[in-house]
Amino acid sequence: MRLFAVISGKKLALGAAVLAVICVTAHAVWGAKDILLASATKKDLPIYSVEREEKICSLTFDAAWGNEDTAQLIEILGEHDIRATFFVVGEWAEKYPESVKQLADAGHEVMNHSSTHPHMTELSTDAMIEEVRSCNEKIERITGTCPTLFRPPYGDYNDAVVSTLRSIGMYTIQWDVDSLDWKDPAPEEIVRRVVDNARSGSIILFHNAAKNTPAALPDVIDGLCEKGFSFAPVSELIYTGSYTIDHTGRQIPDGEAAGSGA
């Protein structure tokens, strides 16, 4: 009986050891699968906002269709000594070259919003590159400066759009505060949305031909100034050194290696 007990004990110990090995192996395998799955599902995000210690934000305007208010926006921004970023479509630049030059002469950034305003996610890689390069060429002919920032039309992007733009040295820029001015809300509603939602490093979206943007813009600026904000164009807000982008699209510098200005 004692011998049987010893043998049985050894079998139990051996079984326990084998089971432990199986559990450890299974854990490693499933852990590896989890890592691979996380890697596979991680999106290549554009920049929605920027981690900054100081209270600073960027005013941005998309220009794709009309041109009714561009001169007035330039005047308002000039009165407040603010430099903004205008993302313009190449066809718009060809149609209104005098406005593009006025923007550049006033110190504003004129950046890329595609050549024909397509859904970029529906294009091949070559077609994406052609859209962007064509727009860059049209802007550079007028301003003498080649854009380094790109905003996808309709805010429509995927991994392929972001990686393709990166491959040609362009940063893809979205926004984290939407004025919704294209829906023609009352000026005070535009002011409330922007001032209440802005935070340090925000990129704020307006349009150059929205009905109530000129009426709202002075109060937007005053409201942000009262909250302690200063303003910079997007190329001076973002980091171009070593950085990461979190799951919300917020760009975060990697220590002292990061530099600002595109």
- Catalytic amino acids? 62, 207
* Structure-derived torsion over alpha carbons of residues 16, 20, 21, 23, reported in degrees to the nearest 10: 140
From CA 131, how far away is CA 172, in angstroms rounded? Answer: 14
Q: Are 217 and 206 in contact (CB under 8 A)?
A: yes
Helices marked H in 144-212: 159-167, 187-197
Burial class (CB in 10 A: 0-12, 13-18, 19+), 257: exposed
CA distance readout (Å), 20 to 7, 17, 26, 82, 92: 20, 5, 10, 66, 67
From CA 65, how far away is CA 209, in angstroms rounded? Answer: 7
Determine the number of helices (DSSP H) and then strands (DSSP E) in the chain: 9, 11
For residue 120, the tally of other CB atoms under 10 A from its CB is 24
From CA 164, how far away is CA 157, in angstroms rounded? Answer: 11
> Which 3 state secondary structure label does DSSP give 206?
strand
Query: Residue holding tokens 């001169």?
Result: 71
